[in-house]
Structure 1
Amino acid sequence: MDPSAYVAPSAVIVGDVHIGAGARVLHGAVLTAEDGQVRVGENTVVMEHALIRGRDGYPTLVGSSVMIGPHAHLNGSVIEDGAFIATGAAIFPGSRIGAGAEIRIHGVVQVNTTVSAGDVVPIGWVAVGTPARILPPDRHEEIWAIQRELDFVGTVYGVDRGTSMDEIMRRQSEFYGSHGDDLILDD
């Protein structure tokens, strides 16, 4: 962590996380790099209760001068400089948000999707594919027609399509169970 950065005492930082100069991580935010890196650039602000997760093969790399709103969820994505990620946005693994792009309140960026520099995902809309098609949520069939080819279960869980939820959750339980003996480190 750069000495000029600030991390609120109630924020949680786990694993291979780097926080750049002038960055701010506010109360309740969680930056977790249990199996993949998290990088936060200079003068980026991570608001309350945001979750930033790095994944194996999908580090989360946040550029400089980025705003990440409260309750936003960034998971295995690249966020370029000057992007605006609003309250409650959900950004999935393998995605890329171009410089100056905006993902507005509760916008969704699906796995392996690229939102081009300067593009806007409106409030509650869904970006899917590369280049992204930006669609309202009521166009589920169009969204699914693109999304089904993006390999959600392979990207997120590392399994083949058709793997049972029993198997997926057994693996997830095993992975997160490895934290049973974690120790809390004080400064």
Structure 2
Amino acid sequence: MLFSHLGADPRIHPDAVVAPTAVISGDVTIGAGCQVLHGAVLTAEGSPVVLGENTIVMENALVRASSTHAVHIGPHTLIGPMASIAGADIGAEVFLATGTRVFNGAEIGDRSEVRINAVVHVRTVLPAGTVVPISWVAVGDPLLILAPDRHEEIWAAQKELDFPGYVFGLDRETPDLMVQLTERYGRSLSRHVSDRRLD
């Protein structure tokens, strides 16, 4: 399903294959030889999403740009089932396994691997060739890669990266943080009300 969003239409190379149940919304460019499988969602929420040639986006993966963070994915990259990418730069020949999460402002270098259910946190930089083990958390720049049972160390690094401030422009100490966050984010998402289906 193709949608025009915020006045921008998807651009899909004629050699790419997009499953009929995938959703492609707004300023999305899909390069030659790409495969976008059933249930995948590629949505440009104010910044572009660009898939390099021969990239594969598997079932139920989510690739989302925000108004402040575009998504660029290099060629020959595989995005596994149920993976999620929000506003990040992904290099060439990268493997993002099933269930991985990559957050806003992250940069993943060429030929890196983020394995099953691993997380690359907001504003984290993975140099080329980095491997994040199954269910581990990559956080920061300089990079720390930590086992999920090391919550205190993950939180110490994560707190400095300021997820609510960086992604939503809100101070973590705001007494009604979730009220402000959901109202602000809801207004942004409501821009879909005038989307137009193209196919």
> Equivalent of 1:69, from 80, 98, 101?
80
Residue 22 of structure 1 contacts residue 44 of structure 1 at CA under 8 Å; is this kept in 2? yes
Letter in 1 for 2:89: V
Q: Distance in 2 between matches of 1:14 and 1:34?
A: 8
Q: Does 1:21 align with 2:32?
A: yes
Show structure 2 runs of 5+ residues with no match.
Answer: 1-11
For 2:8, the equivalent position in structure 1 comes to none
Alignment of 1:110-149 (within 5 A): 110-149=121-160
Q: Distance in 1 between matches of 2:140 and 2:106?
A: 9
Name the SS of the counterpart of 2:47 in structure 1. strand
Q: Distance in 2 between matches of 1:20 and 1:99?
A: 18
Identity across matched positions, percent: 53
Q: Does 1:157 align with 2:165?
A: no
Q: Does 1:182 align with 2:189?
A: no
> Equivalent of 1:30, from 26, 41, 45?
41
Q: Distance in 2 between matches of 1:13 and 1:157?
A: 24
> Equivalent of 1:44, from 50, 55, 73?
55
Letter in 1 for 2:196: L
TM (normalized to structure 1)? 0.96
Show structure 1 runs of 5+ residues with no match.
Answer: none
Q: Distance in 1 between matches of 2:172 and 2:184?
A: 15
Letter in 2 for 1:111: V
TM-superposed CA distance for 1:179, in Å, is 2.0
For 1:166, the equivalent position in structure 2 comes to 179
Asked which structure has the greater RCO (Cα within 8 Å, sep 6+), the reply is 2
Q: Distance in 1 between matches of 2:186 and 2:122?
A: 22
Q: Does 1:90 align with 2:96?
A: no
TM-superposed CA distance for 1:136, in Å, is 0.4
Letter in 1 for 2:191: S
For 2:111, the equivalent position in structure 1 comes to 100
Q: Distance in 2 between matches of 1:23 and 1:80?
A: 15
Name the SS of the counterpart of 2:45 in structure 1. strand
TM-superposed CA distance for 1:178, in Å, is 2.6
**Deviation by residue 1:108-162 (Cα, 9 ceiling, x = unmatched):** 0000001111110000000000122100000000001111111201222122332
Q: Distance in 2 between matches of 1:106 and 1:18?
A: 27
When structure 1 is superposed on structure 2, of 155-164 and 43-52 the one drifting more is 155-164
RMSD: 1.0
TM-superposed CA distance for 1:35, in Å, is 1.5
TM-superposed CA distance for 1:56, in Å, is 1.9
